[in-house]
Amino acid sequence: MSLSGDVCVVTGACGFLGKRLVRLLLEEEKMSEIRLLDKEVKPQLLQTLEDCRGDTKLSAFEGDIRDGDFLRKSCRGASIVFHIASIIDVTNSVEYSEIYGVNVRGTQLLLEACIQENVSSVIYTSTIEVMGPNSKGEPIINGTEDTVYECNLKFAYSKTKKEAEERTLQVHDELLPNGGRLATCALRPMYIYGEGCRFLLGHMGDGIRNNNVLYRMSLPEALVNPVYVGNVAAAHLQAARSLKDPQKRDVVGGKFYFISDDTPHISYSDFNHIVMSPLGFSIQEKLMVPLRLFYLFCFLMEVVCMILQPFVRVAPPLSRQLLTMLNTTFSFSYQRAQRDLGYAPRFTWQDARKRTIEWLASQLPQEREKISAK
């Protein structure tokens, strides 16, 4: 089902995934208009999209996701909304009120605006972290949407993303003022990597400071399955096409889908090494200290931060929950998305790795310069 002639809104359009999705929409669909919604939309971004814009109108909508009037204006006349914008925080460094306001309250206001303005479809970008891992570090291997798992979420990020996902799925089939029905679904990507990934840049910076040796924060046997950003963008496009298709709408609507690809199952630390070893980086053979001592160290840091909390907010750089996430086997299949959405990875692992390495290589000189200047 083509999206030709549709008007769509992409929240978080200037972010890592948002930019990739906007370009894909321009390359593959003859849409009437794409609205780039973000806190700031730099003119340079619009200029970089000129080569594939064609006859599609590109509009910048700058504002706060917590502003209901702004969201209604942004959604007026639109038929599809891709809701990607959120605060990503795995160290609990952001105040809970701030992350809740953006991730949950912002999503609720957006859904209300979509209903008021007769938007037909909403695709919500969720995360694998709404599933866990739990504090026990219980593994999942090739999980599916039917996998039962005891989940006690600790991160404010995962809690708020879970609530926002639930709210999005709950309004599926909501009656619209024009007599139509709203269709919604949610996508749960694995850890997303590729050109523009700030986490990879952060790990590379740490490696530079450590004499080109990457830190090992996860055991080699803690296997996960990262997903390439280009494939995640393709999954969003397939979800939008499916929600527009009358024959697929009721199959897909109100459901969530795990999004992965054919990237090898590997630990987070070893993944960093695979994409950075061609650039001259090695990696520590073992964890800096045994895992149990690592947990004890994290616990002590958390206690110190809690004691200081009445006077100053300090977030530990590493928490027990983050350490659990980095050291738990946690992988999921994309078969359900393949069956229902028609999703298939556009990029092979070899191509995705090559593109990621080339991008990291382009960033390496300026990263070294920034670090040496400090």
Q: Catalytic amino acids?
A: 157
Q: Tell me the backbone φ, ψ of residue 121, rounded to 5 degrees.
A: -140, 140
Give the contacts of 152 (CB within 8 A, at least 6 positions apart): 134, 135
Three-state secondary structure readout of 353-371 = HHHHHHHHHHHHHHHHHHH
Q: Tell me the backbone φ, ψ of residue 266, rounded to 5 degrees.
A: -160, 160
120 exposure class (CB count in 10 Å sphere: 0-12, 13-18, 19+) = buried
Determine the Cα–Cα distance for residues 251 and 155; give it in Å rounded to an integer.
Answer: 31
Q: What is the DSSP string of 2-33?
A: --TT-EEEEETTTSHHHHHHHHHHHHH---SE
Under 8 Å between Cβ of 215 and 284:
yes
Q: N- to C-terminal Cα distance for the chain?
A: 52
Nearest CA to 135 among 343, 338, 324? Answer: 324
Any bridge partners for residue 258, and if so which?
188
Q: How far are the Cα atoms of 85, 94, 275, 285, 345 from residue 195, in angstroms, in the given order?
A: 18, 25, 11, 27, 16
Determine the Cα–Cα distance for residues 228 and 283; give it in Å rounded to an integer.
Answer: 22
Q: Which 3 state secondary structure label does DSSP give 183? A: strand
